Amino acid sequence: MEGRTLDEKKKILFVCTGNICRSPSAEGVALHLIAQAGLADRFEVDSAGTHGYHVGEAPDPRSVKTAAKRGYDLRPLRARKLEIADFQRFDLLLAMDRGHLDIMHRLSPEVYRPKLGLFMQYARRFDLDEVPDPYYGGEAGFDAVLDYCEDAVAGLIETFGARGT
C-alpha cells in the first residue's frame, strides 16, 4: 500500500542562501506553531543554505532578536549547507526565493525534483512568491520575514497537519 502511515512524519526543509536569516526563521516559526498545534508527531523540520558561508554559526542576531519578540527561539539553531542527501531525506524542500529554487533544481537528482517548491506557495494571506532577504535592510525586513513565515507555516500545517495526509 502506498501513502503515508499515521506514524510517519512529514519532513520539510526550508532553504535560503546562508541559513542565517530566512530559513532558520521559517524553521523556528514551524517548530513553535507545530508544537502549539499539538502536531509535533506529524512533522520534522530543518533548514539549510545553498551556500556554506555561515556553517556552524547561529542565526543572524537581528533574526534572533525579532523572533524572540514573537516568542520564537532561534538561538539553538546552527547554519548548515544543503547536502545531496537532503533531497532523499526530506519530503518537501522549500526555497525562500526563485534563485534558491534554481540552485536546488541544478543540485537535485532528477527523481527528487518534484519535492522542490517555493515556501510562499503555502501562504494564505500574502500573495508573494518569495520571502525577501532582510540581510542588508533594516529591522522592518526581519519583521516582514516573520509575517511571511507565520503565514506560510500556517498553510503547511493546514495542508499536512491532518492525520493520514
Question: Which of these ranges, 2-6, 50-54, 137-141, 149-153, has the smallest mean pLDDT?
Answer: 2-6
Which residues touch 104 (CB under 8 Å, ≥6 apart)?
Answer: 15, 50, 82, 93, 95, 116
Which residues touch 162 (CB under 8 Å, ≥6 apart)?
Answer: none
User: Active-site residue numbers?
Assistant: 16, 22, 133
What are 53's three cell numbers?
558561508
**pLDDT confidence of 7, banded at 50, 70, 90?**
low
pLDDT digits (tens, 9 = 90+) for 9-51: 999 999 999 999 999 999 999 999 999 999 999 999 999 999 9
Q: How far apart are CA 102 and CA 68, in angstroms?
A: 31
pLDDT over 70 (residue 79): yes
**pLDDT confidence of 164, banded at 50, 70, 90?**
very low
Which helix (DSSP H) or strand (DSSP E) does residue 95 occupy?
strand 92-95
DSSP 67-80: HHHTT---TT----
Which residues touch 84 (CB under 8 Å, ≥6 apart)?
Answer: 107, 109
What are 147's three cell numbers?
509575517
Helix segments in 11-69, DSSP class H: 22-36, 61-69
pLDDT digits (tens, 9 = 90+) for 49-62: 999 999 999 999 99
Q: How many CA atoms lie within 13 A of 15 on its CB side?
A: 30
Position 8 scores a pLDDT of 84
Q: How far apart are CA 76 and CA 122, in angstroms?
A: 26
**pLDDT confidence of 161, banded at 50, 70, 90?**
confident
pLDDT digits (tens, 9 = 90+) for 81-132: 999 999 999 999 999 999 999 999 999 999 999 999 999 999 999 999 999 9
Q: How far apart are CA 128 and CA 57, in angstroms?
A: 29
All structural domains of the chain: 23-160 (3.40.50.2300)
Position 163 scores a pLDDT of 53
Nearest to 16 by CA among 83, 110, 81: 81
